Structures are given as C-alpha cells and as structure tokens.
Structure 1
C-alpha cells in the first residue's frame, strides 16, 4: 500500500526518450518485486529522492560536489523507509543546502534515473532508483555546505557539461531546464 503513490506518479510520468522508458519499466518492476524498496537495507538497490533545484529564472541549477562520489550532482539521498518521495526530496534539499527559500514546482516527477553506486566499506555495489523532483530557490540566499558535500554551486545549464563529466542524467535535466526556461520566456 505504501508504494501506491510512487507507482501512480511513475505511471503518470511521460518519459522523454528510450532510456527513460526503460527506467520507468525497471522502476515499476523493482517496486512491485520489493515491498522494502524504500529501505537502504535492501542491498541490491533502493529508492532515492533527489531535488533538481533551479533559481527563479531557471537559468542556473544548484549542484553539490558530493564528498563520497567526488562528482557534481543534484542534491538528494536515501528514502530510509519514507515512501513519500516529495517529502524525501524536500528533506534532502533542505538538509544539504540549508536554503529556506526552496519551493516545490510540481508534485509531478521531473526526471528519473537508475545508476550504480560503487561498493564502499560494508556496502556492496548497488543501484539507486532515483526520483528527481523540481524545485526553485533564491540563488542570492546563502547556502550551507553539509558534511556530505565538498562544495555547492549555482551552475548555468551551458556550464554543466564541464562539471558533470558527461553525466547523462545531469545533462538530461539541464536540457529539460533549458526547455522550461524557453517556455517561461514566451
């Protein structure tokens, strides 16, 4: 029962390409097969929630230089048993940025991704089934760098390629942001 909201959101999600279509099918299969899909203890993989935070003019995204993965990524993390993915994404955005101006743009999923997390200490290699929600925030507000990050920064979509090391999912979200920006200007 606790999985129904996420299943509904995924069924309503419109994949933009073949990768996202495959991701959505894999998500639905994974959630159906694993009632404990929101638990970090599920060692093959688990649901995570991320926040794609853009400024109010949609021309910059807030990224974190992730301490453990040593990569620039969107803010986000483990659900740790919480099945409300909006609640997870919001909590991660607040915890990892310290921003108080964060606002959810839509209750609809912005992006989905499945990616491999390398083995580390006692954690085996596993998959993150990541749900990304879209938020805005005031880029002039001071942020706080959490202990999970080396740095935070507002990055223009055109600059993301140099930060993301060709991370397909970051570039896909940047492209979605560009389209939103173009739509906002009309």
Structure 2
C-alpha cells in the first residue's frame, strides 16, 4: 500500500504571495524588490517567520491622520530612530496586511485603525529591505524584507504608550524629525500622496 504525501499550505505565506503578486508599484526599484520578495517566498515556505534566516518578511504600517496632515512615529529602542510601527509576522495574523494592522494597533495604542485599501482590499504601498540584529546583538545581522502599509487614524486620535513602544509622537508631514531615515521619509511622502 502506498503512502500519500499531503502538502500543507501556510495561509499567511499564500496571502503574502497574493498581495505582492497583485501589487503594481509603478517604480522600477520597488518592482525589483517586489520580485526579490516573491523569489524569497518561492524558495522559503518559512519565509515570513522570524526563524527564517538570513532573511524574512516583516509587516509595517505608517499611522496617518490625514485630516490633520500628520503621521505617528515610534522611537525604536534598538536603532534610536523614529520609524513607522511594525515588526515580525505572527501565526495568528491571517494576512500580511492584518499583521501590519495588529502591529500598528499594539504599538500605537489607538483603537479603530483601518487599513488604506484599494478596490480589491489593502495592498502594500512601499517595500524596504534592511539589515537588523533581531536575533540578538551577538548574532549575525539578518535581513528584513519589510512590506509597508498605511493605516488611517480617526481625526484627533491620541496615542497610548504601551510596552510595545518606547516613545510615540505625531509629526506634521513637513516636519519629520531629524532622527529618521530616507525610507521613512519616502513612506510618508507616499502616504501623503495616497491620502490627499
């Protein structure tokens, strides 16, 4: 009697492939990253999880209050820069966009955030590949393949510091802090364009 092998498909993995395949960034450099992320996921069934080394996909979200023309940034405790909310995917997330929304809600303390969505649901707005030491300072650096979304806060939303965040602060689109990077500045510009 022969034994059948069943392949179990990870729904998060399938969603990430779907989201990245459906997204058309309209920018050659972003499209090159998108294809690299898809190649990573094709090679690595575990490509979304922290244990996947030397690289794994992460999900982040820029919290935007379009009515006030401001974004919420968090002071990252390890890198000392003001960044968007985000982090590692978790098995309970269900979707990549859901992971970004969960991270934004946890880190901002703001209830009722909603994902910016197109006609077919939420799609990434930007990708960023960067090296980090998420396995520990004494371990080799690994690469985050960050998929970035925009989440909308209600007008006048107030942040709440939690154990997920060291410091949170709203910044006007045109008054971002010095201690941020070009990736965040580009993400803010893209969010501003999409929510105008």
- TM-score after normalising by structure 1: 0.86
Q: What does residue 194 of structure 2 align with?
A: 180
Q: Is the 8 A contact 2:59 2:87 kept in 1?
A: yes
How many residue pairs match? The answer is: 180
Q: Is the 8 A contact 1:66 1:148 kept in 2?
A: no
Q: Residues 88, 103 of structure 1: CA spacing in aligned structure 2 closer, same or farther, 3 A cutoff? A: same
Q: Residues 179, 66 of structure 1: CA spacing in aligned structure 2 closer, same or farther, 3 A cutoff? A: same
Q: Residues 143, 161 of structure 1: CA spacing in aligned structure 2 closer, same or farther, 3 A cutoff? A: closer
In structure 2, the gaps of 5 or more residues are 1-8
Q: Is the 8 A contact 2:25 2:125 kept in 1?
A: no
Q: What does residue 152 of structure 1 align with?
A: 168
- Which of residues 87, 93, 102 in structure 2 aligns to 1:91? 102
RMSD: 2.0
Q: Residues 47, 33 of structure 1: CA spacing in aligned structure 2 closer, same or farther, 3 A cutoff? A: same
In structure 1, the gaps of 5 or more residues are none
Residues 143-180 of structure 1, C-alpha deviations (whole Å, 9 max, x = no match) = 2223343211111221226241xx22212112212323
Q: 1:49-68, aligned counterparts within 5 Å?
A: 49-57=59-67, 59-68=69-78
Q: In 1, Cα distance between the equivalents of 2:99 and 2:128?
A: 16
Residues 40-72 of structure 1, C-alpha deviations (whole Å, 9 max, x = no match) = 111212111111110032611111001112111
Q: In 2, Cα distance between the equivalents of 1:16 and 1:170?
A: 19
- Which of residues 101, 105, 108 in structure 1 aligns to 2:123? 108
User: Which is helix-richer, 1 or 2?
Assistant: 1
User: Equivalent residue of 2:183, what SS?
Assistant: helix
- Which of residues 26, 29, 37 in structure 2 aligns to 1:19? 29
User: Equivalent residue of 2:60, what SS?
Assistant: strand
